[in-house]
A = this chain, B = another copy of it.
Amino acid sequence: MTAPRTKASRQSEPDCSIERFLLVFSDRWSFLIMREALMAGVERFADFQKSLGIAPNILTDRLERLVAAEVMTKRSYQEPGARTRRSYHLTQSGKDLAVPLAALQQWGDTHKPPRGGPSVERRSPSGDLVRVGFLDEADSPVSQEDLSFVASAHRSDH
């Protein structure tokens, strides 16, 4: 079934998945918070603040956006004698951001290399360096030159 589409509805909810991603990742802080969560396992509000040097009000706002976008869930925890504090935990959707974030990191490592070399490496359980790349339905690698972007044939069928 084809849902009715108006120009207004398309603008508020873009068709393009890259644009939909950018609605969640509105600025660099969102990327950096997700980097800390995915690559360094940070969960506690105070730990995000410490590792990023971010103002608490901005951190609160960006974390709330990530919760609203369902890439994180918020919990409360309390240590003996302390007040209740907040921690943030990746959902499956949040964990799946490891692919685009690792791909951004790989691009930066290759084309905008930091002076001292990459600060973080991606490793497999056997210690291999891991790259982000393209795989076909049989999990065989597909080279970038062989990849085509095509308009979806099923676009208006459902």
CB within 8 Å of B: which residues of A?
A: 2-3, 5, 13-24, 28, 31-32, 35, 38-40, 70-71, 93, 95-126, 128-139, 141-142, 144, 146-158
Q: With contacts A16-B32, A121-B152, A121-B153 known, what are 4 further pairs, Cβ within 8 A?
A: A15-B116, A17-B120, A93-B107, A131-B134
Q: Determine the distance from Cα of A107 to Cα of B95 in the docked complex, in whole angstroms.
A: 10
In the assembled complex, 6 residue pairs joining A and B whose CB atoms fall closer than 8 Å, in A order, are A17-B120, A24-B112, A99-B103, A125-B148, A130-B136, A133-B134
Chain B residue, CB-CB nearest to A98: B144
CB of A49, distance to nearest CB on chain B (Å) = 17
CA gap between A5 and B20 in the complex, in Å: 38
- Chain B residues near A133: list those with CB within 8 A: 99, 132-135
- List B contacts of A110 (CB < 8 A): 93, 96
